């Protein structure tokens, strides 16, 4: 689905008016989620809450699910930036991504209850896949390696392990879990690089 930083052309991604409208729509959806169930929120309500018209909503998102996914992806990217997780080299990048996913899932617990229950993989996994694909451009694997498939496998593995960690009562610290995820997922990359 549409992503705040990947949808449309470059002008749409840098035009302050476009960015402001998208931010207003995301914030209005989050406010409405504090008062109502997602299924009971209409596009008109989102637009009204954002003080925008319905046509403006449709200029940015095809439906409210796309807005929800964009909002989740943006919040995940913000968390990664806030944590200062840098991916300048391969060492530690995998652990940093795993820690970012664990932190995001834990942080989502403080969000409106239905947001915490919604499937987040549709928003987070594409962001993580993109991170791996950016890394693959800088560090190509072995000839014949399907980088998109490798990125998808690693992203799903990280998200699945992090979700299992989050759903476990009396879970270990996120940093410890990120190290475990790194140890399990790293062999996938090592096998693809030889």
Place of tokens 């190509």: 140
How confident is the model at residue 111, as a pLDDT? 58
Classify the phi-psi angles of 177: left when phi > 0, otherwise alpha if psi is within -120 to 50, otherwise beta: alpha
How confident is the model at residue 137, as a pLDDT? 78
Q: pTM of the prediction?
A: 0.73
How confident is the model at residue 136, as a pLDDT? 78
Per-residue model confidence as pLDDT tens digits over 151-181 = 999 999 999 999 999 888 899 999 999 999 9
List, in order, residues 6 or more apart from 135 with CB less than 8 Å away.
87, 90, 93
Q: Enumerate the H helices of the chain as residue ranges.
A: 10-14, 16-33, 43-49, 54-60, 64-82, 93-108, 113-117, 121-138, 147-167, 174-193
For residue 73, the tally of other CB atoms under 10 A from its CB is 24
How confident is the model at residue 63, as a pLDDT? 94
How confident is the model at residue 134, as a pLDDT? 80
Q: Which two tokens stand for residue 152?
A: 């998808």
Q: Which two tokens stand for residue 61?
A: 């998102």
119, 135, 191, 186: which is closest to 157 by C-alpha?
186
185, 175, 182, 2: which is closest to 95 by C-alpha?
182
SS3 of residue 85 by DSSP: coil
- Cα 125 to chain center, whole Å? 6
Q: Which residues of the chain have pLDDT under 70?
A: 1-13, 84-91, 109-119, 194
Q: What is the dihedral of CA 70, 73, 78, 84, to 10 degrees?
A: -160
């Amino acid at each position: 689905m549409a992503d705040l930083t990947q949808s449309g052309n470059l002008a749409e991604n840098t035009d302050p008016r476009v960015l402001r409208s998208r931010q207003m729509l995301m914030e209005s959806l989050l406010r409405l989620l504090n008062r109502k169930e997602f299924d009971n929120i209409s596009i008109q309500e989102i637009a009204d809450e954002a003080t925008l018209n319905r046509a403006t909503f449709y200029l940015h998102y095809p439906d409210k699910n796309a807005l929800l996914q964009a909002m989740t992806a943006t919040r995940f990217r913000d968390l990664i930036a806030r944590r200062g997780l840098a991916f300048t080299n391969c060492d530690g990048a995998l652990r940093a991504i795993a820690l970012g996913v664990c932190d995001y899932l834990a942080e989502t617990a403080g969000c409106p209850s239905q947001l915490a229950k919604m499937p987040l993989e549709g928003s987070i996994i594409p962001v993580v896949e993109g991170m791996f694909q950016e890394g693959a451009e800088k560090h190509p694997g072995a000839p014949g390696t399907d980088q998109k498939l490798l990125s998808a496998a690693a992203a799903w593995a990280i998200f699945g392990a992090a979700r299992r960690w989050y759903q476990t009562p009396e879970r270990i610290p996120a940093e410890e879990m990120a190290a475990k995820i790194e140890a399990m997922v790293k062999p996938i990359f090592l096998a693809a690089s030889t």
